[in-house]
Structure 1
Amino acid sequence: MEFDGKVVVVTGGSRGMGQEISQAFAAEGAHVVVASRKVADCEVVAKGAEALHGRRALAVACNVSDWAQCDTLVDTVYQEFGRVDVLVNNAGLSPLYPSIDQVTEAYFDKVIGVNLKGPFRLASVIGARMAAADGGSIINVSSIEAIRPEPNAIPYAAAKAALNNLTEGLAQTFGPSGVRVNAIQCGPFLTDIADAWTEEMRVQFDNQAALRRCGNPDEIIGAALYFASERASFCTGAILRLDGGIR
């Protein structure tokens, strides 16, 4: 129970990898804040965590692409708990588009907002508060698209590449104050995003991986717990590939 009494904030925490991360930290004794756009979905996960693990779990509605909502999330968490020990920037999206020339400004802004703008704001504000207190850990969930962009995910890939850059920059910024910032660079995982894949895409992803399959949402847990733990006390600015050995 290394995380007993710690406070962990997980964006995109109501489903997929975020849900698994939220439940895993609760199982390790942490109080969890489950944040996403739909508060009803967050409440289901939060109540489940409380019932299973006996820790406080708070559901908060937050569209991380909205600067003001990010600030409200931070204020709410500190009012309820007085601290944050771990921030997991997991919220992300990559809707398919018909062709690159048909990407609209609204689409582009939405993808950049969720995948980069939100993590920047939350990590900056919470990281500064962590630095002024006892330190902490920030974990950004990135993507293999950051280094191997596919034609059907260019704005998403650009946002995740910037998130990798942000991870290293914030590690330098907050390192002297005991705040560690790392990223998990995921390959294809079977979350709700996979529902939009064609059969050809699924076969392609399976074949590209050395393990010949996509990841299951709970397979991110080990990496998240490691980065947040004292076992990673000398680890910051790292970007861990978690992709099944994708080529």
Structure 2
Amino acid sequence: MGRDTCLALARAGARVVLGNRTASAGQALAEDIVAAGGQALFRSTDVSRAEDCEALVQLAMNHYGRVDGAFNNAGLQREFNDLHETPVEDLSEVIDINLKGVLYMMKYEAAAMLRSGGGAIVNNASIFALKAMPKTAYYVAAKHGIVGATRAAALDYATRGIRINAVCPGPIKTPSFDRVTNGDEHLYDDGVPMQRIGRPAEVTAAVLWLLSTQSSYVTGATLSVDGGMSAE
């Protein structure tokens, strides 16, 4: 989802600054954007580290002088376990990256946007920010936390030109989804009212709308991109 959104933003004319923990993949994506005629910078970033989040935002400010939009997409999930059997390391890592990473990024993005004159932030939560699933208490807690943080921060900046919203994707065809399903695209079809999984481009379309002026009166919202799952 992050890759697809970066490519779409670049095609729309945005100057893209991206970060993730896998330097080879991030640098390759930036090079792909530049090769296609766009502008992109990459910095190896671990969002569980506040200093990395600050440095990524500062990279944008140093090179382009402003931050107008941000998509906070980094996240992961570990093994499915009852809470009492969940390793402390898994619990801590998921909370640090999925929740604290979003808080850190919003902290520095909002500061930059106040200097830039405003902007829009979109946080990637999950269908499990709105409902629960067994054996994932730590993951569900982190995702619910993203929605809460999104709503609260949206109120903080509602009169200061910064809109903050969240997208809540259902099952989407991504490498992490393939790892869980062993590549079976239809494993969870029966759990989705539309009887299919989604594609990254369908999430990207929602993110771009929330980043654009077309959603100028939308803040503190959660937009489900889940084939109807949250309606059940």
TM range (shorter): over 0.9
Segments of structure 2 that go 5 or more residues without pairing to the other structure are none
Q: How does 1:197-208 map to 2 (within 5 A)?
A: 197-198=180-181, 203=186, 205-208=188-191
Check whether the contact 2:181–2:187 (CA below 8 A) recurs between aligned residues.
Answer: no
Check whether the contact 2:23–2:43 (CA below 8 A) recurs between aligned residues.
Answer: yes
Give, in whole Å, the separation in 2 of the partners of 1:126 and 1:147: 25
Check whether the contact 1:65–1:117 (CA below 8 A) recurs between aligned residues.
Answer: yes
**Are residues 1:22 and 2:6 paired?**
yes
Check whether the contact 1:93–1:114 (CA below 8 A) recurs between aligned residues.
Answer: yes
SS of residue paired to 1:65: coil
Match of 1:42 in 2: 26
- TM-score norm. by structure 2 comes to 0.94
Query: Counterpart amino acid of 2:84?
Result: D
Q: How does 1:102-117 map to 2 (within 5 A)?
A: 102-117=85-100
Give, in whole Å, the separation in 2 of the partners of 1:222 and 1:114: 24
Segments of structure 1 that go 5 or more residues without pairing to the other structure are 1-16
More displaced, 181-190 or 96-105? 96-105
Match of 1:68 in 2: 51
Check whether the contact 1:128–1:174 (CA below 8 A) recurs between aligned residues.
Answer: no
Check whether the contact 1:131–1:174 (CA below 8 A) recurs between aligned residues.
Answer: no
Match of 1:10 in 2: none
Aligned-pair distance for 1:203?
4.9
Give, in whole Å, the separation in 2 of the partners of 1:146 and 1:30: 29
Give, in whole Å, the separation in 2 of the partners of 1:204 and 1:38: 28
Give, in whole Å, the separation in 2 of the partners of 1:122 and 1:110: 16
Check whether the contact 2:18–2:26 (CA below 8 A) recurs between aligned residues.
Answer: yes
Match of 1:31 in 2: 15
Check whether the contact 1:39–1:60 (CA below 8 A) recurs between aligned residues.
Answer: yes
Give, in whole Å, the separation in 2 of the partners of 1:98 and 1:180: 36
SS of residue paired to 1:60: strand
Match of 2:78 in 1: 95
Give, in whole Å, the separation in 2 of the partners of 1:206 and 1:241: 17
Match of 1:172 in 2: 155
**Are residues 1:184 and 2:167 paired?**
yes
User: Alignment partner for residue 141 of structure 1, among 124, 130, 137?
Assistant: 124
Check whether the contact 2:83–2:138 (CA below 8 A) recurs between aligned residues.
Answer: no
User: Alignment partner for residue 55 of structure 1, among 29, 34, 38?
Assistant: 38
User: Alignment partner for residue 79 of structure 1, among 53, 62, 73?
Assistant: 62
Give, in whole Å, the separation in 1 of the partners of 2:31 and 2:135: 37
List structure 1 segments (4+ residues) > 6 angstroms apart after TM superposition: none
Give, in whole Å, the separation in 2 of the partners of 1:198 and 1:229: 34
- How many residue pairs are counted as aligned between the two chains? 230
